[in-house]
Amino acid sequence: MNKKVMLIGFGLALVTVCSGLFVSVQAQGKAKKREITVISREESSGTRGAFDELMKITDGKTNRLFEEAVIVSSTDEVASKVEVDKNAIGYTSIGAITPKVKALTVDGVAAKEENVKNGTYKISRPFVVAMRSGSSLPAAADFVNFIASKSGQAVVSKAGYIPMDNAPDYKAANLTGKVTLSGSTSVEKVMEKLKEEYHKLNPNVKVEINYNGSSAGIKDCLDSKSDIAMSSRELKTEEKTKLTGTTFALDGIAVIVNKTNELNAIKSEMITKIFKGELRFWNDIAGL
């Protein structure tokens, strides 16, 4: 009788332990469910405009970005958010990638300069400077000429972006005056270097730059609040009727995640689903 009681007691204890382990495993499984933090740029960003169009987050009329996405106002801010949030995903210029984040391979192609140039990396866009068509601004026109010249394109290449082919020579014209630019935050890194090199050749021309987003910069130029607009997207059809644009570099848009993220590669359709809010957990992505 005592043996039966002992066996029954042992059995109950074993069931209790196993049940506890099962509940514990279940709890751990739930705890490991990792919700994706979507990081995006503000609406006036040229980077966002290009990314949303290329990733089919917008159809040109309706934008379907995840309503709970974290919105930031600069290229550096995207990287900073992704750097500290292990569940974050964002996008930034290839030329602005830092060692503190991880750039994902997209559709089997790495986010590298050579892949943008040879056309295999599809998430790419131009960097454009634009002036009001027919405007008479000698110093501003000279700065644009410098940017597009061999000297300017050498700066573009050194900054990590893709220069344009067949650039002409540049010769300083000994001008004086002031040039004002406004627009894309994505071009800040290269534009500051261009400004610095231009000043060495033209010490009597003062260049002032406001980084407030591509669309805002284009509006400033159209409203004569600045001489030159800086855009990290193609000019729209209606903008081209009033502005003359010069493409001075090509750049890829890298999809970035926290360095601790196990994911190294992703498909375009997955990116679209994540940024639309249709895919909410890292656990639901194959390979994780």
Alpha helices by DSSP H, the chain: 2-31, 46-54, 75-84, 113-117, 138-148, 150-158, 188-201, 214-222, 237-240, 268-276
Shared domain for 247 and 264, answered yes or no, is no
Shared domain for 159 and 117, answered yes or no, is no
- Residue-level pLDDT, tens digit, the chain, 288 residues: 555 544 444 444 444 444 554 444 444 445 478 999 999 999 888 889 889 989 999 987 899 999 999 999 988 999 999 999 999 999 998 878 899 999 999 999 999 988 998 889 999 989 999 999 999 999 999 999 999 999 999 999 998 889 999 999 999 999 999 999 999 988 998 999 999 999 999 999 999 999 999 999 999 999 999 999 999 999 999 999 999 999 999 989 999 999 999 999 999 999 999 999 999 999 998 655
* Residue 11 in domain: no
- Structural domains in the chain (count): 2
Shared domain for 205 and 160, answered yes or no, is yes
pTM greater than 0.85 (yes/no): no
Check which CATH number belongs to the domain holding 53 and give it.
Answer: 3.40.190.10
The Cα 163–Cα 126 span in angstroms is 10
Range of the domain at 171: 126-251
Q: H/E element holding 255?
A: strand 243-258
* Residue 24 in domain: no
The 3-state secondary structure of 110-132 reads CCCHHHHHCCCCCCEEEEEEEEE
Check which CATH number belongs to the domain holding 140 and give it.
Answer: 3.40.190.210
Are 170 and 152 in contact by the 8 Å Cβ rule? The answer is yes
**Amino acid in position 98:** T
* Residue 9 in domain: no
* Residue 111 in domain: yes
